[in-house]
Chain A
Amino acid sequence: MADLLLSYIALAMILFSIGFLGIISRKNIFIVYMSIELMLNAVNLIFVALGRYNESMEPQVMAMIIIAIAAAEAAVFLSLIVVLYRNKKSLNSDIFNVLKQKDTANG
């Protein structure tokens, strides 16, 4: 049983790392969004595996709550993507550089 738990957690950590790499290396904002979802679901996998291992319902409920919150975040994220696309006509995050210009100093 413990071996099985370990392999589940290893899988979850691999998924988590892929998601993390996606956020820091990819430029397309859709892929950034999908990476965040991947990381959230990796954590869900850990919770569900721990729940099975401990034979407790508590982590399963936590996983449900996390899914609900991920949905709320998805709503905001997708609407923001729409607004960004309307504004710039592109999904590449490199062109979002208004804030980068250090001394523009507009309040």
Chain B
Amino acid sequence: MIDFIYVLPLFFVGLGAISLMIVSTFKSVTIRKGSITTLVFLSMAFISNLYNLNTGDEVYSHYPFIDIFNKMIIVDTYASYFSTILILGAILTILIGIHYFEKHKEFTVEFFSLFLFSVFGMMLLVHANELISAFVALEIASISLYVMIGFEKVISKRIEASYRYLVLGSLAGVFFLLGTSFVYGATGTTTIGTIGDMSLNTFATNMNLLIIGGTMILITFLFKIAAFPFQNWAIDVYSGAPLPVTAYMAATFKAAIFGFVLRLFIVDFDLIRDFWDDALVYVIILTLAYGSFLAIIQKSLKRMLVASSIVHTGYLLIAFTSISALGESGASSIIFYLVAYFLSAVGAFGLIAYISSDDHLRITYDDFRGFAKIRPYMAAMLSIFMLSLAGIPSTIGFIGKFYIFTGAIEAGNTILAVVGIIATFISVYYYFKLIAIMYFYRSAEMTNVPPLKGVAPVVIAFIALAIIWGGVGNTLVAYFPGVDLLIDMAKLSYESLFVG
């Protein structure tokens, strides 16, 4: 019975996906009903997940149904923390996107079923404790996303994005499998935890094979988070996808991938992780440089946000390389930065999705001339998201960047910290350009902007408040949950990796 409580979040999301798939055949189930059902299942999963997470200062690690799954699925504080991010991201995406989904005729209730399947896959990915089950989870999430991107099949941009993501995503998946087969050949197991023990035993003989296998898995990882040599798909796919799906992918998929890869590299590849450090330094510098360059040249706001998400990948990788030296601060700074980036990205993409939901208007920088005159509150919220993405103090984005750069300096990666700070300076240009255009130019040509009503603006305003609260909250009101709670939870979840 206790086992069942541990898997309850996964169970709710999976049940919701299957039941929505069944009821979607009925005509009377509208988009609104479908989205409300989705929200109900996600909220149940969220509550049961909070129950798993809320253990005070205790960390735990548990293998549910060990006689059936044989340590393939793990439930610990770490996985519960990531599941919370993922479910929260899904809830926010649906709340923000309802307006968009109702306006666009191509969306049907099956979309929400696929959406829940992808949430299920991502949650399974962070709960996975075995390489093949991680691959299954990755494919559940990816295949649902391929279909979600191409859902509006009358728009050729959408299908092309879907096709491109499908080909390149399957290619990355095959490399993951090849890596898994090498790891199996070297150690004779694919269970995380056992791989590390076996690699100690067979240290001399099979080490090269293990390193090659690990490199293949690392390639998949770099591809999925859009790091430098594999970043070109990201702009095309993200800008071809519908905006709520872009928000969902940018915010949650990255968190899920990091959730699995951190577990794999911290628990199992601890011995051989130094081998990749030199290569990763070049990857990070090139990711930051190329991402900044791409973000500067974009005219469309959506493409700029996508290009800047490549830069944020670079920041996360800085923390990823500085794990080894001091341990705790590197890993927990990644986990915290994922939360900070997730809030800012969902807010920014969600607000743009809301603004452009009524027509297929081109949303370039120039379209936002004088936007502050027409919709002052929306302009203020958009400014908050831009400030947080750029990492200006008094937002949560600043605290995330602060922890990453101090972690890098503590670990001795001063050069990476310097490059990261330079990239941050450059990012001020393309984020503040939007703020300047909204406030300092006048041209009231913008028509068809939806007014501030309905559920989406309330949710977006809530996210904006959370970003500000994350930046200044703990200094204003003591003993009220703020950013310290998030950081403490990130540290606890890191500790829980070593319990089992």
State the total of A-B contacts with C-beta under 8 angstroms. 109
Q: Are A107 and B299 in contact (CB under 8 A)?
A: no
Q: If A23-B171, A73-B143, A103-B299 touch, does A96 touch B150 (CB 8 Å cutoff)?
A: no
In the assembled complex, how far is the CB of residue A38 from the closest CB belonging to chain B, in whole angstroms? 10
**Which residues on B sit within 8 Å (CB–CB) of A93?**
163
Cβ of B465 < 8 Å from any Cβ of A?
no
Interface of A: prevailing SS: helix
Q: Are B363 and A107 in contact (CB under 8 A)?
A: yes
Q: Are B161 and A99 in contact (CB under 8 A)?
A: yes
Interface of B: prevailing SS: helix
Per-residue 0/1 for B158-174: is the Cβ within 8 Å of any A Cβ (1 yes, 0 no)? Answer: 01111110110011001
Complex interface: stretch among B180-188, B309-317, B337-345, B382-390: B180-188
**Which residues on A sit within 8 Å (CB–CB) of B166?**
76-77, 80
In the assembled complex, how far is the CB of residue A12 from the closest CB belonging to chain B, in whole angstroms? 9
CA distance A103 to B364 in the complex (A): 10
Complex interface: stretch among B57-65, B82-90, B354-362, B409-417: B354-362
CB-nearest residue of chain A to B157? A98
Q: Are A107 and B356 in contact (CB under 8 A)?
A: yes
Interface residues contributed by chain B, number (CB under 8 Å): 47
B302 partner, pick from A76, A88, A100, A107, beta carbons under 8 A: A107
Cβ of B199 < 8 Å from any Cβ of A?
no
Instruction: Scan residues 27-75 of chain A and give those whose CB is less than 8 A from a CB of chain B.
Output: 29, 32, 36, 39-40, 43, 46-47, 50, 54, 56, 58-59, 62, 65-66, 69, 72-73
B-to-A contact residues, CB < 8 Å: 132, 135-136, 139, 143, 146-147, 150, 153, 156-157, 159-164, 166-167, 170-171, 174, 177-178, 180-181, 184-185, 188, 190, 236, 239-240, 243, 298-303, 352, 356, 360-364
Would you mind naming 29 contact pairs between A and B with Cβ atoms under 8 Å apart? A36-B171, A40-B174, A43-B174, A43-B177, A46-B178, A50-B184, A54-B188, A65-B136, A69-B135, A69-B136, A72-B143, A73-B139, A73-B143, A80-B146, A80-B159, A80-B163, A84-B163, A88-B156, A98-B157, A98-B160, A98-B240, A99-B157, A99-B161, A99-B164, A99-B240, A105-B298, A107-B301, A107-B302, A107-B363
Give me 4 other A-B pairs in contact (C-beta within 8 A), A80-B166, A83-B153 excluded: A76-B143, A98-B156, A98-B240, A106-B300
**Pairs A-B, 3 closest by C-beta atoms:** A105-B300, A107-B363, A99-B236
